[in-house]
Chains A and B, each alone.
Chain A
Amino acid sequence: MRIRPAITQRIAVSLLWAATAITLSALVFIVVYVLVHGLPRLTWTFLSEGPRSMGREGGILPMIVGTAWVAGLAVVIAAPIGVATAVFLTEYTRETRLTAIIRFGADCLAGIPSIIFGLFGFVFFVITLGMGLSVISGALTLAMMVLPTIIRTSEEAIRAVPRSYREVSFGLGSTRWQMVTWVVLRCALPGIGTGVVLSVGRSVSETAAVMLTAGSALGMPHSIFESSRTLALHFYILSREGISMANAYGTAATLIIVILAINIAAYWLMRRFVARAV
């Protein structure tokens, strides 16, 4: 009793189709649901004013600024360190027990729940280093959290650069550092960029870790040493404490639009860059 190959083929295609459709519809459903509830709230006043009475009224400008600060700073800190680590692991060391341990460590770091990062950031940056609940504490905590992503994606991208390119570069009299900067990083840039964009997305949407480190102040942060509430956390507090579901959806819609915009912009920039490097 063997099922005919033509039939198994049909079954397989329908199952694969179904899987793709489920993935896509989950995405579409979430985006549409949030936008339908949130878009009516998205007025210029909502985006350009500070919150009043705990966020029941008013807007979310301080949260937009806070999110930009915390997430931006986190990636600005993490990207150079992560790329440098990846370069060191791939170009400057041979595969030894040590590199295996470093890589394993990075992978473990990636698996730690964000609330634990938040706890560590609270104990270390906020209390021990005395930075208090502030933009910088939140940014440093998020930087540690996204570091493994940046290291791993950069490593993959660097490894994908053909070995022969390195040999050609050495053959033309480059030092190792020249080879890394002129050939390897230039070729790996789109891949590294993807990792960085993923990290921006993760930083923007992180809630638990920033709650414990950046705090939940409602005011506009005037320096990186002041506390600031991010969009994701604002949404959490508004909905969790039942302050205003309407404003919560407005915040969520903003968050989703920001993340979509970042991804689209990065994708566009990347394609443009790759086309120009040709």
Chain B
Amino acid sequence: MTATAQTTRNPAAGQAIPPAAAPRMIVEDFSAFFDQRQVLRNISLAINARERLAIIGPANSGKTTLLRSLNRLNDLEHTFRHTGRILLDGQDIYASDADVPALRRRVGMVYAVPIPLPWSVYDNVAYGPRLAGVRDRQRLDEIVETALRSAFLWDEVKDRLRDRATNLSGGQQQRLCVARVLALEPELLLLDEPCSGLDPISTAKIEDALLQLKSRYSIVLVTNNTKQAARASDRTAFLLMGELVECGPTAQVFTNPRDRRTSDYITGHFG
């Protein structure tokens, strides 16, 4: 009822616009290569506003490469080549005049292992905004506090902002890395197996944070843990040997997969 009301209320567009699922990022026929080795094969995929998309698949299926293509981190490897396009709000992020630092501020990345820079908690979180030119001390204080609160870390570190970040526990470090990215107020959040080295309690805290963050960001979560994908995502994409096998609502992919290979993987027959 509400859906039809919303679509009909937009006559200027001339066609029905799906209300919640407006795509932010569109991957079009994207292939990636390192030297001669093809790692991704003609991937087409949309990432919608305010959704959590999980990318699952066995090792070497190209999950991380796909994720790192979304903010051009693969460019750091000089052997990387690609074909196809990736659009962010309609703009090709691989266009020759694209502003790569700006792209990476809009599309933030959290790595598999927490990598705090060897500075204080505060300096870690303030690093991104400082790079972008924020100098005002009070403004930085606000940004740091907001980001740490969003990552559910503020209460644990508010008295140790000047402590070295590497003195935090593993789970705290990983939430610090989430906060560090959130300080840039990105539009998309990329997470590369963010819980791979964490205990179940820390993992639960990160997943809680993701659920809260979903209201403001699109989240792409690469995970080796199919249970985590089932718990903490709205849609799931299954990659196998660089190919996108299927992509759909998480409930459907896990209960009624369209492809035989998907059901084999999630039931643990391989991978």
Contacts and interface: CB of A to CB of B under 8 A. Distances in A.
Interface of A: 94, 162, 164-175, 178, 182-183, 187, 277-278
Contacts of A178: 131
A174 B78 CA distance: 18
Interface in B96-120: 101-105, 108-109, 111, 113, 115, 117-120
Given A94-B78, A174-B131, A277-B118, A168 B111 contact: yes
Given A172-B127, A182-B130, 15 more contacts: A162-B115, A164-B111, A164-B115, A167-B73, A168-B115, A170-B73, A170-B104, A173-B103, A173-B104, A173-B131, A173-B184, A182-B131, A187-B118, A278-B120, A278-B164
Given A167-B76, A182-B127, A182-B131, A174 B101 contact: yes
A185 to B, nearest CB: 13
A233 B140 CA distance: 55
Interface in B121-143: 127-128, 130-132
A125 to B, nearest CB: 41
B112 to A, nearest CB: 10
Interface centre among A167, A183, A278, by most B CB within 10 Å?
A: A278
B239 interface: no
Contacts of A187: 118
Secondary structure at the A interface, as helix, strand, loop or mixed, is: helix
Given A164-B111, A277-B119, A278-B164, A172 B76 contact: no
B188 to A, nearest CB: 13
B101 A175 contact: yes
28 contacts: A94-B78, A165-B115, A167-B76, A168-B111, A168-B115, A169-B117, A169-B127, A169-B131, A170-B73, A170-B76, A170-B104, A171-B104, A171-B111, A171-B181, A172-B128, A172-B180, A172-B184, A173-B101, A173-B103, A173-B105, A173-B128, A173-B132, A174-B101, A174-B131, A182-B127, A277-B118, A277-B119, A278-B120
Contacts of A174: 101, 131
Interface in B66-89: 71, 73, 76, 78
A278 B118 CA distance: 6
A162 B103 CA distance: 24
Nearest first, the 7 closest Cβ-Cβ pairs linking A and B are A173-B105, A172-B128, A173-B101, A173-B104, A171-B109, A278-B164, A164-B115
Interface magnitude class on chain B: 20 to 34
Given A170-B73, A172-B128, A172-B181, A165 B102 contact: no
Nearest to B129: A172
A162 to B, nearest CB: 8
Contact of A172 (B78, B104, B113, B120): B104
Given A182-B131, A183-B117, A173 B102 contact: yes
B178 to A, nearest CB: 12
B117 A165 contact: yes
A94 B79 CA distance: 11
A169 B73 CA distance: 11
A175 B131 CA distance: 9
Contacts of B102: 173
Interface string B244-255: 000000000000
Contacts of B71: 171
Contacts of A166: 76
A277 to B, nearest CB: 7
A60 B73 CA distance: 60
A165 B78 CA distance: 18
Interface centre among A164, A166, A172, A278, by most B CB within 10 Å?
A: A172
A25 to B, nearest CB: 38
A126 to B, nearest CB: 46
Nearest to A183: B117
Nearest to B104: A173
B219 to A, nearest CB: 16
A196 to B, nearest CB: 21
A164 B130 CA distance: 19
Contacts of B78: 94
Nearest to A165: B117
A272 to B, nearest CB: 16
A171 B127 CA distance: 11
A159 to B, nearest CB: 16
Contacts of A173: 101-105, 128, 131-132, 184
Contacts of B184: 172-173
Interface string B129-172: 01110000000000000000000000000000000100000000
Interface centre among A165, A168, A171, A182, by most B CB within 10 Å?
A: A171
Contacts of B109: 171
Interface centre among B103, B118, B119, B128, by most A CB within 10 Å?
A: B118
A256 to B, nearest CB: 36
Contacts of B101: 173-175
Contacts of B181: 171-172
A167 B109 CA distance: 10
